Structure 1
Amino acid sequence: MERLQFEMFANEILSRLPTKCLARLRCVSKQWRYELSSHLFAIIHYRRMANNPYRKVIMLTKSSVDIHNLIGGKLDISSRKIISFPIDTHLSNLIILASQYGILLMCIQWRPNELILWNPTTNQFFNLCDKKPKKFLDLREDAVGIYMDSSNDLKILLLQRRKDDVIPRVYSRNTCEWKTLTFLKGADYASSLYWWSSGTLCNNVLYFSSPHYWTPAKSYTIAFDVQSETFSKVSIPQHTDVIGRQTRDP
C-alpha cells in the first residue's frame, strides 16, 4: 500500500518537475531512485514535458553531446549544456537510429554488437545485444524501429538480413527479452531490399522504405503493424508528371 501511494505521488506530482530537479531527487533514497528511474515514470514525465514550451534538442558533435532548449521552434544556442555518454567511445562513432518518449536507440560504428537503449535524462543505458554473434547489427543490411505498444511497453524492432533470409526480432523493455517474428513470404526480400536503417512510425505502423534507384518501379515500402506484429508490402503510388507520363515516386 505504501509503495502504491508513493507511485501515485511520483506519477501525479514529481512527474511535473523539470529534469534537473528529478536528477537530484533520485539521490534521496533507493526507493526514490527506483521509482524515478522506472519505465512508466519516464513515459509519464515525457508526456507532461511535451506540453512544455521549452523543449530540448540533443546534438552529437565530434567532441561532445550537447543539449539545447528549443523555444518557439528556434534553437537557443546560449542554453547549451554538455552531457556525457555512458560508454567509452569516440563520439564521432555514435549514431542515433531512432527515438521514442525521450529514449534514444543508438549504435556505435565499427562495433557490430552494440545496439544501445539510452536515456539521456538519467544517463542509464542498456546493450540490447543478447548474444555475441559475428554481426548482431549491420548498418548496411539491417533496419530498426522503436515503438510503444498498447500496454505501454517500449519495443524495438530489428530486421536482420542474413544471407537469403530476413529475420525480424522484437525486444521488449518490460521483459528484457527478444522474440522472433515471421516475415513476409513469397518473394526474395533478402536480396531485393534496399531500405534505410530507421523506420518511420505513423498511426501504430512502422514504415521502412525500400527505394530502388536504378528501377523506380521496383520500389516499395514494408509496413509493420505494431499492434498485431504483422508485416505487409505497400506499393509506391503512381503519379503523372508534367508531360503526362506515368511514373513512380523515387
Structure 2
Amino acid sequence: MEPFEFEIFAHEILSRLPSKCVGRFKSVCKQWRYELSSSIFSIIHSRRMYNSEHRKLITFTASSIYIDNLIGGKVDICQRKFIFFPVDTPLSNLMILAAQYGLLLMCIQGPSDQLILWNPTTNKFLNLCHNKPKSFFDIKADAVGIYLDSLNDVKILHLQRRMDGVVPRVYSMNTHEWKTLSFLKGSDYASLLYLWSNGTLCNNVLYFASPHYWAPHKSYMIAFDVVSETF
C-alpha cells in the first residue's frame, strides 16, 4: 500500500471535523499545527462547515460577542460560547465590513480607522494598517472585499478613494505584503458624491455598488475579476 500523504488526510478527513476538534489536533506535532493553520485548510474547513450541520452564528451586542450553533436552521443557545475581540477597544467601535471563508474583515473606528482581519474561531487577527500612515484606511471613503485567487491565496482588496483618484491595493495572506493594481480611467470615481458598498463576491467577481447621492442615474457598479485581478 502506498503511503498516505498527511496533506490529503488533513484536507479530506480532518477538514470535516468540528472546529473544536481541529483546534485540539494542532497540538499533536509541528507538522499537524502547520498544516491545520494554513490558509488552504482554513478555506476547505470553512466550506465543509458551511455545507454541513455544524454551522455557527456570531452575534455582536453592545457589551459582548458570542457564537451559537445552528442546528436544522435554528439557533441552539444551550451551547452558547462567549468570545473576546483580540484588540482592546470598545465593541461600539467595531464594524463588520466583509465576511468570507470563516474570516471577518473588521474596522475599528477612531481618529485613524484600523482595518482588522479576524478569525473568530482561532481568535487570531492581522492589523492590515500596521506600519501604514494614519490616513491609509478611511471607512467613510474606502471599500474592501475578500477573495481567493487561482493559487488558493486569500486576498484582501482595498479600494482607497482620495481626492486625486482611486488606488486599488491587494494584500496577500501568503506573502503578507501589499501590491498596487491599476484602476479604471475616466469618470469621477473618486468623488465622495458616490457612496461605495463593500465587495460582494459572485462567480469569481467582486462587485462594488456605487450609488450617487443626488443623481441616481449617475450610479454605477464596479466589477473586479479575482482571476485576472483586473477591473
- Specify if TM > 0.5: yes
Q: CA contact under 8 A between 1:112 and 1:135: conserved in structure 2?
A: yes
Q: Which moved more, 1:33-42 or 1:139-148?
A: 33-42
1:78 aligned partner: 78
Identical positions, percent: 70
Deviations 1:177-201 (A, max 9, x none): 1111111112221115523341111
Unpaired stretches in structure 1, ≥5 consecutive residues: 232-250
CA distance in 1, matches of 2:8, 2:229: 32
Is structure 2 residue 131 aligned with structure 1 residue 127?
A: no
CA distance in 1, matches of 2:27, 2:107: 29
CA distance in 2, matches of 1:225, 1:217: 25
* Alignment: residue pair count: 228
1:228 aligned partner: 228
Deviations 1:17-56 (A, max 9, x none): 1111112222233332222111111112112222212311
Task: Give the match's secondary structure for 1:141.
Answer: coil
1:151 aligned partner: 151
Is structure 2 residue 184 aligned with structure 1 residue 219?
A: no
Task: Give the match's secondary structure for 1:230.
Answer: coil
CA distance in 1, matches of 2:119, 2:174: 15
Unpaired stretches in structure 2, ≥5 consecutive residues: none
Deviations 1:130-156 (A, max 9, x none): 532121111111000111112111111
Task: Give the match's secondary structure for 2:89.
Answer: coil
In the TM superposition, residue 101 of structure 1 has moved relative to its aligned partner by: 0.9
2:136 aligned partner: 136
Q: CA contact under 8 A between 1:113 and 1:132: conserved in structure 2?
A: no
TM-score (ref. length: structure 2): 0.91
Deviations 1:216-236 (A, max 9, x none): 1111111111112221xxxxx
RMSD value, Cα: 1.8
Deviations 1:104-127 (A, max 9, x none): 111111163521111111111111
Letter in 1 for 2:180: T
2:200 aligned partner: 200
CA distance in 2, matches of 1:192, 1:121: 36
Give 1 or 2 for the bigger CA radius of gyration: 1
Q: CA contact under 8 A between 1:195 and 1:208: conserved in structure 2?
A: no
Structure 2 counterparts to residues 86-125 of structure 1, below 5 A: 86-110=86-110, 112=112, 114-125=114-125
| Structure with more relative contact order (C-alpha pairs < 8 Å, separation 6 or more) | 2
CA distance in 1, matches of 2:175, 2:91: 30
